Chains A and B, each alone.
Chain A
Amino acid sequence: MQSNEQQQEFVQLLNQHQALIHKVCNLYGHGHTDREDLFQEIVVQLWKAYPKFRGESKFSTWLYRIALNTAISGLRKRKNHIASFEPENIPTDIQDEVYNAEKEVQLEQLYDAIRQLSEIEKALVMLYLEDKSYDEMEEILGINQNNLRVKMNRVKEKIRKLIKSE
């Protein structure tokens, strides 16, 4: 059992990276309840692993590993429908003019396209969209960089086609 101080410290770190966990849940969850369950599971796994986090890698790298491991190998039951991005989940106070309706539509298209990819491809696209370097991708996924580059070109092409076809 960790102390209250550790809990506060952990929650603070979590707050800084919450958006990242939500993105993983949006990509891997099938519907609102499943996304909530996945969010909970990722937080539980992070909290369990936190005492062993020694800062050898960046906190975000460590968090990506746990979030993706939980989402990929958790193997929740896949529903047949493809859930679409739900802009109504965004709190109204942060839906400002910068983030307008047109962008919402484009983001919705992107999410719909990514959801048609395999679990591994989703992880690749997410890391690409988050602007991670190949070094970091290798550190998170464990796939060598040559292989990563080949896969990345292929998956980017796939995403382009999927978006065009929508």
Chain B
Amino acid sequence: MELDQLKKIWQQEPSATKEDQQLLQLLRKRSNNPIARMKRNLLFELIAIVALYGATIVYYAYAFHGTMSEISWFMVVIALSFLLYYYMKNRLLNKMECVACQVKSNLQRQVNTLEKYVKFYLIAGTALAPITIIFFGWLFYIKFPAKTNSIFYLSGNYAWWQTTLAWLVFFIVFTVPVYYVNKWYVKRLYGRHIQKLKELLNEMDEA
């Protein structure tokens, strides 16, 4: 059977058709593609963060007669950073897709934006560890000044380089595992998708 003959058969193939009413109903459905799902997940994440942080902020503002209100302020700063983080993630998601573009340029755009998205996710997630350590170190310093003669504070008991080294080790011990956990997590979420998109692009490029 020659391909030209098959071409004719293909072109004559009758197709099941949907009625106008069925098509109109489809127009009201929501998209289920990966980017639409990522946008929905982002919104759920935002709602969860606002609820969780909101409750914690209120709790620490009033609990313990307001003596731990610094935690509330810290959470406010982190929550505001989260809002910026969600805004930037949402902007990247909006840029990620151009369904009416050529297939190759759409794939290229998805790979580039998704890689930026993953990088941003990784940096923001990892940065949270040292920021939290610094805050609680400072909080401990102002709340329990009598106990700040440890190696972590410049109190005259230890040289500056010993204190710096202690903080450095502390940062590394907490931040490095957070980095690897985040890396594993983003790879699990998006790694296969990015890999598949890259394979498709390579296939389009190779002669």
Q: Provide the B178-207 mask, 1 if CB < 8 A to any CB of A, else 0.
A: 000000000000000100110010011101
Interface residues of B, count at CB 8 A:
44
Say whether, besides A69-B106, A90-B14, A131-B7, A44 and B100 are in contact (CB < 8 Å): no
Task: Name the segment of B21-29, B46-54, B116-124, B134-142 touching the other chain.
Answer: B21-29
Please pick, from B6, B16, B34, B102, the residue contacting A22 in the complex, using a CB distance under 8 A. Answer: B16
Say whether, besides A11-B23, A22-B15, A43-B26, A141 and B102 are in contact (CB < 8 Å): yes
Give the interface of A toward B (CB within 8 A): 7, 10-11, 14-15, 18-19, 22-23, 37, 39-41, 43-45, 47-49, 52-53, 62, 65-66, 68-70, 72-75, 89-91, 94-95, 98-99, 103, 106-107, 109-110, 118-120, 123, 128-131, 139-143, 146-147, 150-151, 156, 159-160, 163
Additional A-B contacts beyond A40-B32, A131-B11 (16; CB < 8 A)? A15-B17, A19-B17, A22-B16, A44-B30, A45-B99, A52-B100, A62-B100, A69-B106, A73-B107, A75-B196, A75-B197, A90-B14, A94-B14, A98-B12, A107-B6, A159-B3
Give the interface of B toward A (CB within 8 A): 1, 3, 5-7, 9-18, 20, 23-24, 26-27, 29-34, 99-107, 110, 193, 196-197, 200, 203-205, 207
